[in-house]
Amino acid sequence: MRPLAIASLCITLTACGGGPPKFPERFTVGGTVTGTPAASLILLDNGGDPLTINGTGSFTFAMPVNNTAPYSITVGTQPAWQTCVVTDGTGKIQDGPQSDVSVDCSTLTPATAVTLATTAQLTTARPGGGTGVELSGVTADASGNVFAVESSVGNVYEINSSGTVAALGSTTGNASAAAWSATNSTLYVGDPLDGTVVKFVGTSGAFSAGTPAINGLTNPTGVAVDNSGNIYVAQGGASGGATSSINEYSSSGALISTIATGSASFTPYGVAVDGNGNIYASDKTHNEVVKIVSGTPMVLAGSAAVAISGTTEGVDGVGAAATFNAPTSVSVDSLGNLYVLDSGSGDIRQVSPVGSVVALTNVNNPTALAAGPNQKIYFVTSDGAGTGDVQSIVPTGT
């Protein structure tokens, strides 16, 4: 009789409004990002469920929230050089998905410029003395030692973390771009005159004399190194266009592969590689920044259809809505943020992985830049009349 009694009780409970227990409903939380963030923004919900956002538009957190439970949207990581502000980020889920959170990233963090080496310091350190300096490339190691190269005579300088300026030596021709390899403790310098990439091996204050690492190049204008120590060289070729390319070489100088070839619509100038092996290039001729995907240059930002001349500044925006004025030097920081030097206008600009472009600052006569640790950007200037220096910028308060 006991089973029948239990069954009777269950029927009675159901008839009286009982039945299976009701579980809380769960709804998503989201909103909209405005202001063109040009680096990764990370949002948190109730201190967790991190959501990485690389552009504008709508967003939704992956983890839904119980109805009647609170939610609180905060910024976990600000985009480099920007400040994002959350509005309507707290509340309780009630009757359905919440999509009213607003995140505005239009506030740019002011930059603080610091001069690391003046024209006088560089010429004093130059072998044989002389006056005037024209700088064309810059890079830095993780310890804050900066390396700058002089275009016409190929001199290579080190400005150590204490501010001491010293000459490391020179190429046998001239110098264009520079790249530092933490894997090999090696400085690589492009030499367009001799068609080589020259290497200087060592540590601060103790470098070997420069020796060719790669030969047989035609007008190398960009150099980068990946985490494995492989070297990437952008060369303009004899006449640009179809004769230009981006090649990958081993640390011993052996050709590994041709990453991309030039064409009527693509002429590489600068090259950069991020920590995940993604390859980026600037196209000074077509005013574009590209990402190389399976050997094909895919335009990340900029437009060849928009002609900009003189010192006119480009327009910030996303993808083809952004415009550049002769982009040359490109560099990627440890967080994957891409930086581009607009040589025509003097703007230093930041580009997100989805092509959002923001101008960080404007500089007089910049010729090259390099991203360093802690959001620091190094750059060199030359006015064409013998005056040039090495500087850095960081966001105010960093």
Same domain, 221 and 298: yes
- CATH number of the domain bearing residue 172: 2.120.10.30
Q: Are residues 310 and 325 in the same domain?
A: yes
CB atoms within 10 A of CB 97: 14
For the chain, the residue count is: 398
The CATH number of the domain holding residue 91 is 2.60.40
pTM, 2 dp: 0.89
* Same domain for 66 and 149: no
Co-location of 88 and 214 in the same domain:
no
How many independent structural domains does the chain possess?
2
| 4 assigned to some structural domain | no
Which residue segment(s) compose the domain that 339 sits in? 111-395
Residue 125's identity, in one-letter code, is: A
For 144, the 3-state DSSP assignment is coil
Residue 286: CA count within 13 A, CB half-sphere: 27
- Identify the DSSP state of 15: H
Is 29 in a helix, a strand, or coil?
Answer: strand
Q: What is the full per-residue pLDDT of the chain (398 aa) written as tens digits? A: 455 444 444 444 444 555 555 567 889 999 999 998 988 899 999 999 999 998 889 999 999 998 888 999 999 999 989 999 999 999 988 778 999 999 999 999 988 899 999 999 999 998 877 788 999 999 999 989 999 999 988 999 999 989 999 999 999 999 999 999 999 999 999 999 999 999 999 988 888 888 999 999 999 999 999 999 999 999 988 766 668 999 999 999 999 999 999 999 999 999 999 999 999 999 999 999 999 999 999 999 999 999 898 999 999 999 999 999 999 999 999 888 899 999 999 999 999 989 999 999 999 999 999 999 888 999 999 999 999 999 999 998 76
Residue 306: other Cβ atoms inside 10 A: 16
Same domain, 215 and 117: yes
* Residue 18 located in a structural domain: no
Q: Rounded to an integer, what distance in angstroms lies between the CA atom of residue 316 and that of residue 309?
A: 16
Q: Are residues 189 and 234 in the same domain?
A: yes
